[in-house]
Structure 1
Amino acid sequence: MAVYTELKPEAFARVSEAYGLGPVQEVVTIPEGSINTNHRIRTPEGRLFLRHTTVRSAEDLRFEAALLTHLTESHFPSPTLLLTKQGRPFLELEGGRVSLFKWLAGEELRRPQLTPDHLERLGLELGKMHRITQSFGGSRDNPYSAGQVRSWLAGLRRHKDDEVATVAEELEEHLERAEGQRGQGLEPRGVIHADLFMDNVKWLADRVGAFFDFEMACKDSYGLDVAITLNAWCFDNGAYLPELCRTFIRGYQDARPLAAVERENLFGHALFGAVRYSASRIRDFHLSPLPPEQLTRKDFRTYLARARALDALGPAGFLALLGL
């Protein structure tokens, strides 16, 4: 599990008092996350999701709260953020900040469960979300820009672990190719999810119940969100899965057709996404000092495999894979 801050019973009592929940009846640590400590709690108000962060700023959390309000008001399936009795979107607690959400119904799918119909519906909802965020006035720069990733790799290249240093050099090469293959013209931009992995979507039977975990949401190219999502859902056993790729893109374009410049930049976005997650997984998981009982690790090599597969495909091969 990911436990960065151990919260004692009195901390949960403070949360309950601040939100007017009544006594906390149950606390369960959720074994996921790379930067936050997450819990499921139960009170007389029902089950709730509690997120404790020591790295996200008050400004970040206010942006997330405003975005979730906009999505909810636009009838998009997303989390309901609870406010404190004083009307604040978070609570200062134990050297960090707590955000509290209603518990989302549904299940998270695993890769063997995925069908082309799932990917088509996923693409459709992502396209809808991008249409909705075009009218959202908030803005937040992408904290995981190419410059940030380049800085990570420069540090990793000097690491004493030979494998890490070697992989960092390879990733630098992939990053330069990615940057050369995107930014060709002005792409449509708006607020994107930026982290739509399989464990960030709830399903109700065969339909999307909700997108959640918007903590990485930021303003960037919509095409980057498409590529990050495709990388996460449509790759397995060292290769992209053509049918899943094509149904995902078809569903997305049913809601929001891709502009010509977005199609041209998709390869670069996908390669950048593969590099970005390879690097962050090295930093957050592979090199983490936390013991196994406190952190469920994610292997960076799965994203390195995506970068290598993309490098072999090239831009034309990638677009052919997507049916574009």
Structure 2
Amino acid sequence: MAVHTALSPEAFTRVAEAYGLGAVREVTPIPQGSINTNHRLETDAGRFFMRHTTVRSADDLRFESALLAHLTEYHFPGPVLLTPRTGAPFLELEGGRVSVFRWLPGEELRHPHLTADHMESLGTELGKMHRDTQSFSGSRENPYGPETVRQWLVGLARHPDAELASVAQELERYLDKAEAVRQGLEPRGVIHADLFMDNVKWLADRVGAFFDFEMACREAYGLDVVITLNAWCFDGGQYLPELCRAFVRGYQDVRPLSAVERGNLFGHALFGAVRFTSSRIRDYHLSPLPADKLTKKDYRTYLNRARALAAMGPQGLFELLGL
């Protein structure tokens, strides 16, 4: 959602015409995120979220479109993707592909305003998403699995910055540990894979919508659980037991975790912490974009999660989650 591609006023006019949105009144860049260029688009037809990507393939965007349509059929609270006059789920524009969504109402919540009730509701909605997509036939493999992350770390370990090289080597050890403890077949299906605080809208105390399904893929459900847990239940350098347990409780009210899933949670959680530490180094810390084009995220916040998990081990995580 950063501003990677400078789009001309004519480009926004073309988008509005292609989607039948009337005249463009105002365009506001949105500097959060890492790999796309996003804007808030005000037109005669209202307010919209416009995403321009030079990274996502046509197949990726078709998968996302089909998934959102499936979620709508199940009345799951998600974003509404608009279709241009061509009938395709995106518009080819300026060397990339544009997707346009209705602007979602609601607000984002962060610490210290998050409560156990919020987390239980969040867990419940994630469980519903996993349940409701079991009949979805679309397929997309995880583009950011262990092999990809290991390649990132091998490259970072050769970086001339000695601190980054040292961190990369530390993360490789954590990745080895995560892979070693994940064993046995476990249920797989469609996961969000990126359910951070800025990807959920709240209407008062209830979840208004999950959004930003770009990372969605077929993977182990448990990975989605702990990616979300890592994002929401860690603050001030530590995991917050009350929030962790409320989140897991809400999830299991809808979809109880099997024994093998519970056994693999630690490996997934540690992998997730390594994966997002690595991507934040690549996409934010090493990004050449200035602050007005990209809202930076400190990789050390996820490195702290990886270190905390490595220190507590599987049994410590079970105790933290009340399992």
Normalized against structure 1, the TM-score is what? Answer: 0.99
Which residue of 2 is the match for residue 307 of structure 1? 306
- Structure 1 partner of 2:281: 282
| Structure 1 runs not aligned, ≥5 long | none
Partner of 2:215: 216
In the other structure, the counterpart of 1:23 is: 23
Partner of residue 74, structure 1:
74
Task: State the alpha-carbon separation in 1 of the partners of residues 300 and 181 from structure 2.
Answer: 23
Q: How many Å apart are 1:42 and its aligned residue?
A: 1.1
Q: CA deviation at 1:293?
A: 2.1
- Asked if 1 retains the 8 angstrom alpha-carbon contact of 2:193 and 2:224, the reply is yes
Alignment partner, residue 118 of structure 2: 118
String of CA shifts for 1:220-275, please: whole Å, max 9, x gaps.
00000001000000001111000000000000000100000000000000000000
Q: Distance in 2 between matches of 1:86 and 1:275?
A: 41
Q: Secondary structure at the match of 1:163?
A: helix
| 2:84 counterpart of 1:84 | yes
Confirm or deny that 1:263 pairs with 2:262: yes
Q: Provide the residue aligned with 2:190 in structure 1.
A: 191
Code of the aligned partner of 1:25: R
DSSP-derived class of the 2:28 partner: strand
Q: Distance in 2 between matches of 1:266 and 1:148?
A: 20
The aligned counterpart of 1:247 is 246
- Distance in 2, matches of 1:280 and 1:252, equals 27
Aligned counterpart, 1:35: 35
- Cα distance, 1:31 vs structure 2: 2.1
Contact 2:13 2:24 in 1 (8 A): yes
Q: Distance in 1 between matches of 2:21 and 2:237?
A: 47
* Paired residues of 2:124 and 2:253 also in contact (CA < 8 A): yes
Deviations 1:167-190 (A, max 9, x none): 0000000000000111x2111000
* Counterpart in the other structure of 1:294: 293
- Aligned partners of 1:76 and 1:2: how far apart in 2? 27
More off after superposition, 29-38 vs 122-131: 29-38
Aligned positions of 1:149-228 closer than 5 A = 149-182=149-182, 184-228=183-227
SS of the residue aligned with 1:111? coil
Q: Give SS of 2:112's match.
A: helix
SS in structure 2 opposite 1:29? Answer: strand
Equivalent residue, structure 1, for 2:141: 141
* TM-score, length basis structure 2: 0.99
- 2:230 aligned partner: 231
Please state whether the residue corresponding to 1:113 is helix, strand or coil.
Answer: coil
Q: Report the CA distance between 1:69 and its aligned residue.
A: 0.2
| Pairing 1:104–2:101 present | no
CA deviation string 1:21-53 (max 9, x = no partner): 110111111121100011111112110000000
Distance 1:275 1:259 in 2: 24
Q: CA RMSD in A?
A: 0.8
What residue in structure 2 maps to residue 9 of structure 1? 9
Paired residue type of 2:106: G
- Asked if the contact 2:81/2:101 (under 8 Å) is kept, the reply is yes
Distance 1:116 1:163 in 2: 37
Partners of 2:126 and 2:200 in 1: CA distance: 11
Runs of 4+ off more than 2 Å: none
Secondary structure of 1:92's counterpart equals strand
Using the aligned pairs only, state the percent identity.
Answer: 74
Provide the secondary structure at the position in 2 that maps to 1:62.
helix
1:130-154 deviations in whole A, cap 9, x for unaligned?
0011110001010001000000000
